[in-house]
Amino acid sequence: MDLLNQLAASFQNAFNAEPTFVCSPGRVNLIGEHTDYNEGFVLPAAIDKAVYLAVGPRADNELHFIAHDLSKTYVGSLDTIQKTNTWADYLLGVIAQFQQANHPLRGINCVFGGTIPMGSGLSSSAALENGVGFALNELFDLGLDRISLLKLSQRAENEFVGAKVGIMDMFASMMGKAGHVIKLDCRSLDYAYAPLQMEGIRIVLCDSRVKHSLVTSEYNTRRAECEAGVRLLQTVYPNIRSLRDVTMTMLDTHLKEKEPHLYRRCAYVVQENQRLLDGVAALEAGDVATFGQLMYGSHEGLSRWYEVSCPELDILVGIARQQPGVLGARMMGGGFGGCTINLVEARALDAFANRITEEYKRQTGKDTYLHVCKIQDGTNVISL
């Protein structure tokens, strides 16, 4: 509420008007990593770390943005939107997509800030883009549905910002539902909500404080390895399109002996899709303990089969596994650094925080920062 009051005061000071407020959350992904670009499944949720926007329409075509957390401003015009290679591009890119789709706009005033920890892998950029698109839709009564809005956000990041991200981050931020995770089919964009009964359980992110430079090059390599495995299998099974269509029997028969390296990469993805489906079934049965064990299996696959972990992430998961009251843990995101995601019983939270902080420091010499999250609704208008 303090942040909202600060944004309101800044907006009033700058524009002498009362704003509309939009809350656009960050996201976690509970299981299903590196499956999105293989047309598989993911299981994200919107969380209570968010970007907040105070917005209002203008009578002219000017664009006035204030980045509250950075104490920086941008002034431009709808008539001449150009890339700046700064934070402003996340707003400008969305506006440019609305223009390309011929949605009628006027200028806007926007002051924004957030509670998403920087560099934590919780998708602050997707949250901001969704927030801008949602605000434009509200201010100018454009009548777009949420799926249309999140697709505009993705195109803004792909085409204007220049990051070739998948759909998951935008989807989770826009479509989140309190108390639920989203089972998202990355091929069809079909989705369903699965209940996450979190009574007495907390989602805790442990930041390794490591970001290796390998992440982009290795991401591209893994993607190419998966595609190479599919091409080899297509010589036997011409109807398959991606690893989504592949079974372990296919891999065992045709890749295991001939291409052991590609086999391990492809096997991880096939197994991770199955872990996710098993995990959804466990959640629907109210069995969070079984879901937690599948999270451990996911980390094992990411670390040993897909090889996108790093010593620090493995250490964090190893410490968590030894702690009473921890139901599951795994690395989250592209890999080679970032956060682990942990399901921790609320009664064990303090002991877990103390233990993992001390033990991680002892083993690595680094600090870890903990973020406790709740699952909330997706992008929406809120009131002070």
Which residue ranges make up the annotated binding site for substrate? 33-36, 219
Count of beta carbons in the 10 Å neighbourhood of residue 115: 18
List the one residue out of 381, 373, 384, 383 whose CA is nearest residue 26.
373
Spatial distance between the Cα atoms of 148 and 209, rounded to a whole number of angstroms: 35
Q: Is 79 labeled as catalytic in the residue annotation?
A: no
| 8 Å CB contact between 77 and 61 | yes
Residue 8, Cβ density class (10 Å: 0-12 exposed, 13-18 middle, ≥19 buried)? middle
| 8 Å CB contact between 36 and 30 | no
Strands (E), 58-200: 62-67, 72-77, 108-114, 180-185, 191-195
User: In this structure, which amino acid lies at residue 71?
Assistant: S
Give the largest CA-CA distance in the chain: 70
Spatial distance between the Cα atoms of 255 and 260, rounded to a whole number of angstroms: 6
Count of beta carbons in the 10 Å neighbourhood of residue 344: 26
- The one catalytic residue in 2, 48, 169, 367 is 169
* Structure tokens given for 322: 């030894």
Query: Which bin fits 81, alpha (ψ -120 to 50), beta or left (φ > 0)?
Result: beta
Task: Provide the annotated active-site residues.
Answer: 169
